[in-house]
Amino acid sequence: MFPDYGSVIKRPIDLLIIKQRLMDGEYDDISQVDSDLKLMFSNALKYNAAQDPVAIAATQFQQLWAEKLRSVPPKYVSRDSSEDPIGGTPDYDSEDEHGMSSVHNYYNKLMVR
């Protein structure tokens, strides 16, 4: 369909690949999702002219993603139990797991639209 795409875009990625990685649990934290989305936005803006509907949609999605990413809590960093003066493990989910769950839910809402 776009024979020159591979010569212009060296690391192709799309929402289907990102969704599959989410479903397969390939992302360890939200920064990996962010990296793949930024690559997707960059590819779309590099390949398509500024007024092309794909570039416009990529720019809008990029802005929306930046807003959503700011609402994700910072990553919970667990310490080795030997460093913890109280000991034991917290009885709540890590904030990063909550962040990945939020990303997955947000992606599903986007795909419904």
Confidence of residue 106 (pLDDT cuts 50, 70, 90): low
Say how far residue 91 (Cα) sits from the centre of its chain: 27
Say how far residue 92 (Cα) sits from the centre of its chain: 23
Q: How far apart are CA 52 and CA 46, in angstroms?
A: 11
pLDDT digits (tens, 9 = 90+) for 49-77: 999 999 999 999 999 999 999 998 887 66
Q: How far apart are CA 19 and CA 12, in angstroms?
A: 14
**Strand, coil or helix: 75:** coil
Q: How far apart are CA 83 and CA 86, in angstroms?
A: 9
CB of 46 closer than 8 Å to CB of 70: no
**Strand, coil or helix: 2:** coil
Average pLDDT, stretch 89-111?
A: 61
pLDDT at 12: 96
Could you tell me which of 55, 44, 45, 48 has the C-alpha nearest to residue 14?
44
Q: How far apart are CA 46 and CA 77, in angstroms?
A: 36
